[in-house]
Structure 1
Amino acid sequence: MTYKEANNISIKDYLNSLGIQPVTEKGSYGMYRSPLREDNTPSFKVDYNANLWCDYGTGEGGTLIDLVMKQNRCNAYGAICRLEQGETASFSFHGKDLPERDTKRQAASPIEIRRIQPLQNPALMRYLQERGISPGTAAPYVQEMYYRIGGKPYFALAFRNDSGGYELRNPRFKGSTSKDITHIRQQGEPRDACFVFEGFMDYLSFLTLRMKN
């Protein structure tokens, strides 16, 4: 099963396979009690059309793979393996049709962007240093974003992806305005090698280590 195939599996069907049902449904989306934490009120939204989720209680969200990673505390490869094998006896992912989704149809992001600016926030630079990443090395690649979720203000490191969205990260939040990969091409002659990183923090760690060496 590929990354794309895994994310084409319906999040609604996946949650149903775990015995998790929406508390309310309104056409194109359902509101659930969060499967990631104690949740007395339904604050976990699943957009059926875009096949994306958002936990308004934490501000996190993303694709099915993101959800499985959060639930099982594993990486993307581990999440795909779990989906491929099937998590419960009542639901099997094997042989399930995986229709191509309309990539032009995007869910309205719960993240309201207020402003994006060059990296200078002391708290974010301190966070990078705590992760062993040099802020000076990171600055050409990341910015800082100020945004709102449900009217509450937040800020985070922002790493632009190929769809024009941003991957966001701070000590308490990992999410995105819209998910995609990011290609970074090195200058000079074409290379035969391609380095693949699970997330932009891994990439920044690699750059920091390379500069030290």
Structure 2
Amino acid sequence: MPFQLPDLPFAKDALAPVMSAETLEFHWGKHHRAYVTKTNELIADQQQLSGASLIDVVRDAKSAGNNKLFNNSAQLWNHSFFWQCLAPSQGQKPSGRLAELISDAFGSEEQLLQKLQEEAVNHFSNGWAWLVLDRDLLKITSLHDADTPIVHEGMVPLFTLDVWEHAYYIDYRNERPRFAQTVLSSIVNWDFVAQNLDGKGFDRANQEGSEARSPELTT
């Protein structure tokens, strides 16, 4: 199959108790895997997408109005980016240029996290809360369902928080506010966020496609 379920960048129990191994068994092991499987199924008979990268598939599906392929491929990418936004709680803090940009845009890390939490909590129904870079200015926004910065001009992804119910229902039941506050206050991978200031965050969750193989001739 052209696309794969990427490995988690940490052990499945490494984020506990903020995010349990059971949540990751379902969220990564089942939901994320299902997006991979369905994306591969949907592109199997589309010759024009042979060898296309995951990002190319997402953009092509969006422009073609292929909602089923867009939803699955975009969710494949969104989740691949999301896991890298998290890290075991070790007192990590933003530093360097990232800390300066946070100060300029929000005043402090605490104010940034508060606004990001509010965005996540107030987002209606399923979707993603995003911290993005727009012309050297940090901005907070949210996107519904499978929507992704890949198809929005001027949205350079730095960090995202999944606010679909499957992200938190095992550990927090229906308490999205507690989920958002707990994750944002303790397991943000600020090194990854800072790395994405180079504008290459899209590529860090991308996958190259494989060329379709022609059937072997038999004699």
TM-score band w.r.t. shorter chain: under 0.3
Asked which structure has the greater RCO (Cα within 8 Å, sep 6+), the reply is 2
TM-score by length of 1: 0.25
Give 1 or 2: higher strand fraction.
1
